[in-house]
Amino acid sequence: MTKQAILASVFATALFAGAAFAQQAAYTWTGMGQNVAGSSKCDRYKMTINVTVEGNAVKGQFQQEGRDQRHFEATLGQGGVFKTKAVVGGGNTMDVTGTINGTESKVLLDGYCKFDAKLGKKTS
Amino acid at the residue 31: G
Is residue 14 in some structural domain? no
Residue 16 phi, psi (nearest 5): -65, -45
User: Could you give the number of structural domains in the chain?
Assistant: 1
CA distances to 33, 35, 114, 116, 121 from 39, rounded to whole Å, are 11, 6, 10, 16, 31
- For the beta sheet containing 92-100, the strands, ordered from the edge strand earlier in sequence to the opposite edge, are 81-89, 92-100, 105-110, 114-118
Per-residue pLDDT at 112: 85
**CATH number of the CATH domain containing 40:** 2.40.160
Is residue 81 in some structural domain? yes
Is residue 12 in some structural domain? no
Span 30-71, pLDDT tens digits = 999 998 877 789 999 999 999 999 999 999 999 999 999 999
Measured CA to CA, the distance from residue 112 to residue 94 in angstroms comes to 7
Record the pTM.
0.79
Domain encompassing residue 42 = 24-121
